[in-house]
Structure 1
Amino acid sequence: MRRKVIMHVGPTNSGKTHMALRALAAARVGVYAGPLRLLAHEIWERLNKGQIVPLGVDPDDEAQPDTTLIADVVNTEGSRPTVRKEGSSKYARECNLRTGEEARYVSDSAGLLSCTVEMITESAELDVAVVDEIQMIADTDRGAAWTHAVLGLPARELHLCGEETAVPIIEELLKDTGDELIVKRYERLTPLVVQEESLEGDLNRVQKGDCVVTFSRSNIFALKQKVERATGLRCAVAYGRLPPEIRSEQAALFNDPNSGYDVMIGSDAIGMGLNLKIKRIVFEALRKFDGDRERMLSTSQIKQIAGRAGRYGLHGEPGGFVTTLNADDLPALRSALSMPADPLTMARLVIKSSWLDSVSQVLPPDASLLTIFEVPGYVSKVRQPFQATTQHRLDEMAKFVDTFANDLTFEDKLLYMSAPISWSDPAFLEVLKRFVRMYQSQIRVDIYTALRSAPFLPMLTEIEELMSTGQLRFSPSPKTLPTLETLHKVLVLYMWLGNRNGMAYYQRDEVYDLKVRTEHALEWCLEKLSKLRYKRESGFAKTEVENKIDYRNGPKSSVESDAKRMRAMLLAEALVEKSGAISQ
């Protein structure tokens, strides 16, 4: 197949994803693949509801534009919007959803799929495929999934959306494929202005519509407190450890002019996956601790964060502003924004599990997992511009699996190695140990047993009791938020494992309910952290009603097959127990 590869490249707020999504909505068979489950969920929802007008179809005159979309799309006010606030059945397309944690099937015959990039599977020919944030092809941990998408998706029309920095590497990759490459460049739709002055360290100068960016969790809450005290403005927060659902809810609070949340305090997590009506970005610092040392942000990172200011159509006057909290950082900010970002020089490749399995077969039986992962580096050559994926914390990951999962199959070990695990969180790892022990000893992993001796459920219950009594003067302890955040990550891990081994991690509905309860508790605790009080109903309950789309948690054939296997397993367990009782 000779594919037509169309790159849509430009800065944040240029609308670079717009035409690609319309092409997907017009396709008979197609896929959207993005970096975040929130993005995948957003596209899934809007395609099913008919909010994206297919390419080649005239939009309605009376429709209102959708200004809540996370993806970088254009809705020019005064024209007929092609991404609508309200859906229409005449534009609706059946689309299934597949992410690492969940699958939502509206129909086994749906022509479209929205997924995270890692969930792409080689399939029959597609009319259109859209791969978002293509610059992540060089990412140390996840880049191989983008490389696989670029080289492996059998789409007649492949749309790659992202930064200009990715153009040279894609040109290099496609030299030998015979594909046609078209590059469409987009300019920012509103100006981005670097202000003449910093805030001179004065938090009293923080204004409504500002987003103050800092790079540690403790700094975020310290700044939140200081800004609220200095200005009287209430602050929402967004940072990496916060579950995506809560980040999205905090963004909705900030965007709602009637919520009472006028300022956002965030980390670089605001740079992707959040739709924020930011008027001005204020960098508290331009340096970030990377786990080993403090380093300067890259030009690309500064541009992506700064570009969140002044999203097109979200403010009365066009344009966004950017400055720094401290005067010493302003020259570096101005210099970074005036420079072109360095082009990407590599595309990541993953070492296939089948290859690692072959390596394990020829090594001594007691060879460590770390040794198996290191062998490809010694016996293989990777030509430019490819580079093998290097996992952070590989030593820790391999040591953990060798220590606690050594009796499992090699396939099971690799599953844990690739799972979304917080390797630096001791409380998380304790629960993971229980998951592994239960799987080894009894195959089925019960979430409540795994959490029994951990502080998570008692903490959740305590918070829910306070919520039910309408407690007004509650201030979360320093352990409350981290405990709930870790619980949420544990539940997401269980769902991720359940998507790959549903017989062992079988409590999908119970875990989903626990996850939603944890999100409610986190949202309530964040509200109580503000010294200023403003009563607002949680957005979670209404979201479930407003966004209701009928779906199953897998293809019909898969659901029926799982049910049969579960009945067989329960029958086998009953027979074993019965035979044991008879022998006694």
Structure 2
Amino acid sequence: MPAAGFTHTRIAPPRKIIMHVGPTNSGKTHHALRALAAAKRGCYAGPLRLLAHEIFMRLNNGQIVPLGVDPGPVKPDPSSLIEGADMADGPVVSKDGDKRFARPCNLITGEERIAVAEDAPLSSCTVEMAPILTPLDVAVVDEIQMLADPERGGAWANAVLGITAHEMHLCGEEAAVPLVQGLLKHTGDEIIVNRYERLTPLQVAKTSMNGSLQNVEKGDCVVAFSRSNIFKTKNEIERLTGLKCALVYGGLPAEVRNEQAKLFNDPKSGYDVIVGSDAIGMGLNLKIKRVIFSSVHKSDGKREVLLGAPQIKQIAGRAGRYGLHGTGDGGVATTLHPGDLPILAKALALSPEPIRFAHIRANEDSYKRVQSALPYLATFSTMVEAIKYVAKMDPWYRIEDAAQTVLATREIETIVKKSSLSRDEMFLLQDAPVVWRHELAVKTLTQYLRMYQKDIYVDVRKAVEQVGLLDKLNKVLRLADEKDEKKVELAEVKIAVMALWELETLHKTLCVYLWLSFRLPIAFHDYDAALVLKASTERAIWWTLQQVSRQGITVADLTVKHNRHPSKSAPQSRGRSKEGKFGRDRDQTSDDHRLPFHSKSKVSRVVF
């Protein structure tokens, strides 16, 4: 039983588990965050770095109203990413902070640490960084349905089973309730389920857009499922309607996505429509009146597949955020093409289907026993792949998908060949948030590892320069810094825009460096330099997106042949924000090092 492995939690007094479940825009995180703000010691653990950062800022600024406190008249902050931030019974997030409610809170994510106080009573983190061993009064774990995620679910399972807190709030979808009850059946924990209804109605439009974007209106969100289709849709809307479009998709840095969302939410910005991928479904509260699906199918890397009902609900539910269009106004969902409208209607009418399994990671002891059963010269990737064949699972669990881990370990083995990297280092590197299917990203990691092996010290500027990414960045920044726009020729702008994909890749590789700097700080010592490059890359990407609208650049100008690593059609990364363990937004990071141990014992099955 995996729960038994968390002995520190099992020997502590039973926990009070409070589940807050409901659809999007139901305000289910409202009471949980207020309980956290009132706690003596507590933590927030969520799926996205942006959400963790916002809660960190809000708690320190006294903008989250503690439970049991009557703050008097409070003006809500409509820019908040937090669902339920502007509830009718009193906002959980106030626009103006109150010093009485300010709580010292540290930020801990895979690539960022901000300590406002060494002994701060509160922390805000991505779920992989949840303080499992620290006794807490209140813990909040967000998006609990992520237990079922085949590539990140283990982090949620660890949090649910292992966090030692008097009171734990689990926020997410109704579908997770039976699973959590099953996981905790023998722990003695008390489970209370609070169910919430959507605060504003969500309706399916009577008609589709009949294949035309000409009738797109202010406040609309058009959802597409590929980068090229997103830009094509943006171009078409701006050409047909004259409305400017903000962009949100998984390949953009989280910081840039947030700024694009702010443009759309600001009625004075001139950006009245937003075009995005399913990245809009988590972590961004947007002033959307109507969601338009350009398709109800998306590619899984091999073929077009129908979106699942939970995904359709998550995206469509972004329409009609409470308090932004008047408390009585609801949201509308429709499709671009008539044939997709019945599929949308059917998906939204379905009751939530219970999640059957939680995904967990193989633990250190399991890897130890598998390793001891393999031939001495067996590769690291063979050991990782073998675990799924010998694992015997509890009925409530499934082992995490090892496809990306195997891909990662094979790539690392190819890069380092017969080197002196230890097994511990291999375990660490295979968890790094590298976009393994992108050849340029792998080339950059190759430079990192070669410097690491040869010199111990890894020079981040030199590494990105050697793969040509620094030159791309400097060319775009030169244009962005030109004060006289008349001196910038359209041909130069088009070349810069064509480099957008490389800039996005550069940003991801810098995030890898920052991630490694917290785990191998002596070797990856250029944290400050990487942070400066990361900020510069975000500025370059922001400028490039502005030029797409300003200069009327079409999708043809954005079409370049991007190198994909040979024979790699697997999901984009170790982990989505919408795209694998780290692909989903790249806000999501894994911090499970999985160090191996050696043993002479043989094994035919590994029991979790």
User: If the length of structure 1 is used for normalisation, what is the TM-score?
Assistant: 0.89
Task: Return the offset for 1:74.
Answer: 4.3
Within the alignment, does 1:43 sit opposite 2:62 as a pair?
no
1:573 corresponds in structure 2 to: none
Within the alignment, does 1:446 sit opposite 2:438 as a pair?
no
TM alignment of 1:252-331, pairs within 5 A? 252-316=262-326, 318-331=329-342
1:581 corresponds in structure 2 to: none
Task: Return the offset for 1:145.
Answer: 0.5
Within the alignment, does 1:520 sit opposite 2:512 as a pair?
no
- Check the 8 A contact 1:59/1:81 in 2, yes or no: no
Segments of 5+ residues of structure 1 without an aligned counterpart are: 534-584
Task: Return the offset for 1:365.
Answer: 3.5
Task: Return the offset for 1:389.
Answer: 0.6
Within the alignment, does 1:125 sit opposite 2:135 as a pair?
yes
Within the alignment, does 1:403 sit opposite 2:414 as a pair?
yes
2:353 corresponds in structure 1 to: 342
Change (3 A) 1:357 1:468: same
TM alignment of 1:2-151, pairs within 5 A? 2-61=14-73, 63-76=74-87, 80-151=90-161
- Check the 8 A contact 1:217/1:239 in 2, yes or no: yes
Question: What's the RMSD between the two structures over aligned residues?
Answer: 1.5
Cα distance in 2 for residues equivalent to 1:219 and 1:252: 22
2:499 pairs with one of 457, 469, 480:
480
SS class of match (1:292): coil
Cα distance in 2 for residues equivalent to 1:81 and 1:338: 30
SS class of match (2:191): strand
Change (3 A) 1:80 1:168: closer
1:492 corresponds in structure 2 to: 511
2:427 corresponds in structure 1 to: 414
Task: Return the offset for 1:370.
Answer: 2.2
1:376 pairs with one of 357, 377, 387:
387
Cα distance in 2 for residues equivalent to 1:500 and 1:358: 25
Change (3 A) 1:468 1:374: closer
Cα distance in 2 for residues equivalent to 1:202 and 1:461: 39
Between 1:292-301 and 1:362-371, the stretch displaced more is 362-371
Cα distance in 2 for residues equivalent to 1:491 and 1:353: 29
Segments of 5+ residues of structure 2 without an aligned counterpart are: 1-12, 553-608
SS class of match (2:403): coil
- Check the 8 A contact 1:51/1:92 in 2, yes or no: yes
- Check the 8 A contact 1:228/1:532 in 2, yes or no: no
1:423 corresponds in structure 2 to: 436
Cα distance in 2 for residues equivalent to 1:255 and 1:314: 9
Task: Return the offset for 1:80.
Answer: 4.6
- Check the 8 A contact 1:357/1:410 in 2, yes or no: no
Cα distance in 2 for residues equivalent to 1:103 and 1:428: 24
Change (3 A) 1:188 1:80: closer
Cα distance in 2 for residues equivalent to 1:438 and 1:529: 37
Change (3 A) 1:322 1:42: same
Q: Residues 232-279 of structure 1: CA distance to partner in whole angstroms, max 9, x if unpaired? A: 000011111111111101000000000010000100000001121101
Cα distance in 1 for residues equivalent to 2:265 and 2:85: 18
Q: Residues 161-200 of structure 1: CA distance to partner in whole angstroms, max 9, x if unpaired? A: 0001101100111111110000000000001111101111
- Check the 8 A contact 1:214/1:284 in 2, yes or no: yes
SS class of match (2:185): helix
2:582 corresponds in structure 1 to: none
Q: What residue identity is the alignment partner of 2:178?
A: P
TM alignment of 1:429-440, pairs within 5 A? 429-440=442-453
User: If the length of structure 2 is used for normalisation, what is the TM-score?
Assistant: 0.85
Change (3 A) 1:84 1:252: same
Task: Return the offset for 1:305.
Answer: 0.1
Cα distance in 2 for residues equivalent to 1:13 and 1:108: 36
Cα distance in 2 for residues equivalent to 1:230 and 1:168: 48
Task: Return the offset for 1:357.
Answer: 4.3
Between 1:208-217 and 1:500-509, the stretch displaced more is 500-509
Within the alignment, does 1:248 sit opposite 2:258 as a pair?
yes
- Check the 8 A contact 1:22/1:52 in 2, yes or no: yes
Q: What residue identity is the alignment partner of 1:449?
A: K
Q: Residues 387-413 of structure 1: CA distance to partner in whole angstroms, max 9, x if unpaired? A: 101133344222112222352011111
1:160 pairs with one of 140, 155, 170:
170
- Check the 8 A contact 1:6/1:157 in 2, yes or no: yes
Task: Return the offset for 1:531.
Answer: 4.1
Cα distance in 1 for residues equivalent to 2:390 and 2:331: 51
Q: How many pairs align? A: 531
1:238 corresponds in structure 2 to: 248
- Check the 8 A contact 2:405/2:431 in 1, yes or no: no
- Check the 8 A contact 2:230/2:277 in 1, yes or no: yes
Q: What residue identity is the alignment partner of 1:35?
A: P
Cα distance in 1 for residues equivalent to 2:526 and 2:355: 42
- Check the 8 A contact 1:74/1:312 in 2, yes or no: no
Q: Residues 410-453 of structure 1: CA distance to partner in whole angstroms, max 9, x if unpaired? A: 11111111111101110010010111111111111111221222
Q: Residues 455-505 of structure 1: CA distance to partner in whole angstroms, max 9, x if unpaired? A: 211111111111121336643336311010000001000000011111111
Q: What residue identity is the alignment partner of 1:421?
A: V
Q: What residue identity is the alignment partner of 1:52?
A: I
Cα distance in 1 for residues equivalent to 2:51 and 2:93: 15
SS class of match (1:515): helix
Cα distance in 1 for residues equivalent to 2:402 and 2:346: 32
Cα distance in 1 for residues equivalent to 2:474 and 2:31: 47
1:510 corresponds in structure 2 to: 529
SS class of match (1:451): helix
Change (3 A) 1:82 1:404: closer
Task: Return the offset for 1:359.
Answer: 3.5
- Check the 8 A contact 2:204/2:333 in 1, yes or no: yes
Q: What residue identity is the alignment partner of 1:432?
A: L
Q: What residue identity is the alignment partner of 1:301?
A: Q
Q: What residue identity is the alignment partner of 1:404?
A: I
SS class of match (2:295): coil
Q: What residue identity is the alignment partner of 1:231?
A: T
Q: What residue identity is the alignment partner of 1:269?
A: A
Q: Residues 529-574 of structure 1: CA distance to partner in whole angstroms, max 9, x if unpaired? A: 01479xxxxxxxxxxxxxxxxxxxxxxxxxxxxxxxxxxxxxxxxx
SS class of match (2:376): coil
- Check the 8 A contact 1:281/1:321 in 2, yes or no: yes
Change (3 A) 1:172 1:234: same
Between 1:400-409 and 1:498-507, the stretch displaced more is 400-409
TM alignment of 1:520-539, pairs within 5 A? 520-531=539-550
- Check the 8 A contact 1:59/1:82 in 2, yes or no: no
- Check the 8 A contact 2:132/2:159 in 1, yes or no: no
Q: What residue identity is the alignment partner of 1:3?
A: R
1:546 corresponds in structure 2 to: none
1:548 corresponds in structure 2 to: none
1:177 corresponds in structure 2 to: 187
Cα distance in 2 for residues equivalent to 1:271 and 1:469: 36
Cα distance in 2 for residues equivalent to 1:294 and 1:121: 40
Task: Return the offset for 1:352.
Answer: 2.0
Change (3 A) 1:354 1:103: farther
